[in-house]
Amino acid sequence: MRKSFGSIILNVAFRHLTPFLMLYGVYVLVHGHYGPGGGFQAGALLGLAVVLVQMVQGTRAEWRIGVSGGIILACLGALIYLAIGLAPFIWGGNFLDYGVLPIAATPAEARALGILGIETGVTMGVMGVIIVMFDLLTRDNGEREE
Amino acid sequence: MEFVQIALLLVQMVCAVLALTSRDLMVAVILFAAFSFCSALLFAMMGAVDVGFTEAIIGTATTLFYVAVIYRVERRSSA
């Protein structure tokens, strides 16, 4: 987005608000086992944090991930999901059956860690897709991203 | 609790009709955000906290997308 519509008030407000938004996104991700939340919501929150910074500061934004960066992020998330999902095949389990993974003492702990890995992949995918959607909607005609 | 739910549903109906008949696209988008927030409150009230949380976040995201698109097109709708 070439022309930002941020004033000095919006700029200062989002400079203080965005770190807490990203921290809340990470909290929603890692606390998804125990309360409401999970990978999709955390990814939407983290993507919104990046998109808000781009909206307020325009092309001067520090966290400018861009279309190709967003696509790489989303595909990396899908790759993490697939890798963690396929890993139990090596130890004789089924797809997404993390209980057999030798990463923790008990199968319950291994399942919790596996779900956290899966949710991390989902978070990266959703965050990348939201950033790509916003960049494609707001870029100028004829402008080439990266 | 019943009364609050009925009031929220009435607010939703008013918001939906006004958003459909409004000529100004920005007004329609803000009314749609209000509609989305009312439905998030309803979901949370009926015990589906996860669904309400998702609805609140996605309502914010779609509002952001619509506002970003309105800055590129005509704000007044012709028809």
| Residue A6 banded pLDDT, cuts 50, 70, 90 | low
- B4 or A55: which leads in pLDDT: B4
DSSP string, B2-43: HHHHHHHHHHHHHHHHHHHH-SBHHHHHHHHHHHHHHHHHHH
- Residue A34 sits at the chain B interface (C-beta within 8 Å): no
Q: Which of B58, B60, B68 sits opposite A55 (nearest CB)?
A: B68
d(CA A65, CA B76): 32
Q: Which of B54, B58, B69 sits opposite A137 (nearest CB)?
A: B69
Overall average pLDDT of the A9-24 stretch: 89
Q: Which site among B45, B46, B64, B73 would you substitute to test the A interface, given the most A Cβ atoms closer than 10 Å to its Cβ?
A: B64
- Judged against a pLDDT cut of 70, whether residue B19 lies above it is answered with yes
Q: What residues pair up with B24 in beta bridges, in sequence order?
A: B76
pLDDT digit string (tens) for A47-94?
A: 999 888 888 877 676 677 888 899 999 999 999 999 999 988 888 888
Prediction pTM value: 0.84
CB atoms closer than 10 angstroms to residue A89:
12
Average pLDDT, chain A: 85
Q: Which site among A2, A10, A33, A41 would you substitute to test the B interface, given the most B Cβ atoms closer than 10 Å to its Cβ?
A: A41
Q: Name the minimum distance, in Å, from the CA of A93 to any CA of chain B.
A: 30
pLDDT the model gives residue A145: 47
The 3-state DSSP class for residue A56 equals: helix
- Would you call A17 exposed, middle or buried from its count of C-beta atoms within 10 A (0-12, 13-18, 19+)? middle
- Interface contact flag, B68 A48, Cβ < 8 Å: no
- Judged against a pLDDT cut of 60, whether residue B25 lies above it is answered with yes
- Residue A51 sits at the chain B interface (C-beta within 8 Å): yes
pLDDT the model gives residue A122: 94
| Residue A146 banded pLDDT, cuts 50, 70, 90 | very low
User: How does A55-82 read in b/e, with b if 16+ C-beta sit within 10 Å?
Assistant: bbbbeebeebbebebbeebbeebeebbe
- Interface contact flag, B64 A138, Cβ < 8 Å: no
Q: Are B1 and B45 in contact (CB under 8 A)?
A: yes
- Judged against a pLDDT cut of 90, whether residue B77 lies above it is answered with no
